[in-house]
Amino acid sequence: MLALSIVVSCKRTAAVTTAVSSSESKAECVPAAVSPAFACNEKRVAIDTRPGVTLAFDLVEPSTTPKRAVILLSGGDGKLSLSDEGMSESASHNFAVRIRQAFANEGIVAAVPDVPSDQPNGLEGDFRSSKDHAEDMRALIAWLDGKYHVPVWMVATSRGTISAANAAARLGGSGPHGIVLTSPVTVSENGKDSLAHVDLATIQAPCQVVSHAEDGCPASPHDGAKAMADEHNWSFISEKGGSEHCSDAKCRCGPASHHGFEGLDGKVIPKILAFMNAG
């Protein structure tokens, strides 16, 4: 049975009596409650992606040599408000963000990107389906590949699925090794882009789609997710159960809902890992 840890705290052994740098020793990470604060295996990293543009991300390293890497793409406006200490409280509850330690526990290094420096107000309009956004992802994939020399996957949720599909479609062989789209946004709303703005037919990487049968978010209907997966012959997972206590559309598109797989991390994550392991 897979043991899932969503966020961790730190515990260091008493045997260490001399000061050493973080690159020379790793802290033992012990499961704790969901928190916006970084655990001992996390740090903020920033890289150049486009001329004059930088991208910061939360790097979460496993205690063993990584066997693969995963870029975890959050939904909403994509803002994590990363600092050297952690991220915003609201960002930490997003499905793609709160599961980061579960991947580290399985020997997978995770990168959770914030918004690029030229998008300080968030990933608005059609930026997620743009060439510039794909270039940001190209740079992050190349950085992970260069540092760890392992296949780089993308796992995305809600509006983050546009980012993952856009990278896979535009970047081809220099893009992700495979992608997982959870609660995919197939319906455009309020001038925002959707997966309809991405040339999905060009994606060659393995793809898995995960949708809750009772997803109440208007932008990510379960039927739309299944139709997309069927059209492109992608793996499809339909989830049921969990919990939701929502009375409005904003909540139904948030993390504490069926859309955000509330109460289902322990069921969804093993299926994602199984798909990655098969690919």
Instruction: Give start and end residues of each alpha helix (H) in 107-213.
Output: 131-148, 160-171
CB 60 within 8 A of CB 112: yes
Nearest partner of 207 among 180, 241, 183, judged by Cα: 180
N-term to C-term CA, the chain? 21
Q: For residue 49, what is the enclosing H or E element?
A: strand 42-50
Looking at residue 253, its pLDDT comes to 93
Amino acid 94 reads: N
SS3 69: strand
Q: How much is the pLDDT for 260? A: 95
Contact (Cβ atoms closer than 8 angstroms) between residue 153 and residue 71: yes
The predicted structure's pLDDT at residue 19: 32
Which CATH superfamily is 34-278 part of?
Answer: Alpha/Beta hydrolase fold, catalytic domain (3.40.50.1820)
pTM: 0.89
CA-based diameter of the chain, in Å? 60
State residue 5's pLDDT score.
38
Can you give the pLDDT at residue 189?
A: 84
Question: Is beta strand 68-73 parallel, antiparallel or unpaired with respect to 152-157?
Answer: parallel
| CA pair distance 225, 229, nearest whole angstrom | 6
Residue 2 CA, chain-centre distance (Å), reads 19
Helix (H, G, I), strand (E, B) or coil at 192: coil
pLDDT tens digits, one per residue of 87-126: 999 999 999 999 999 999 999 999 999 999 999 999 989 9
DSSP 197: G
Q: What is the pLDDT of residue 212?
A: 98
pLDDT value of residue 23: 36
pLDDT < 70 stretches in the chain? 1-34
| Residue pointed to by tokens 């920033």 | 46
Q: How far is CA 67 from CA 12, 81, 107, 153, 195, in A?
A: 25, 29, 6, 11, 30
Between the CA of residue 61 and those of 24, 56, 68, what are the distances in Å? 14, 16, 11
Q: Extract the runs of DSSP E, i.e. beta strands, from 126-278.
A: 152-157, 178-182, 207-212, 235-239
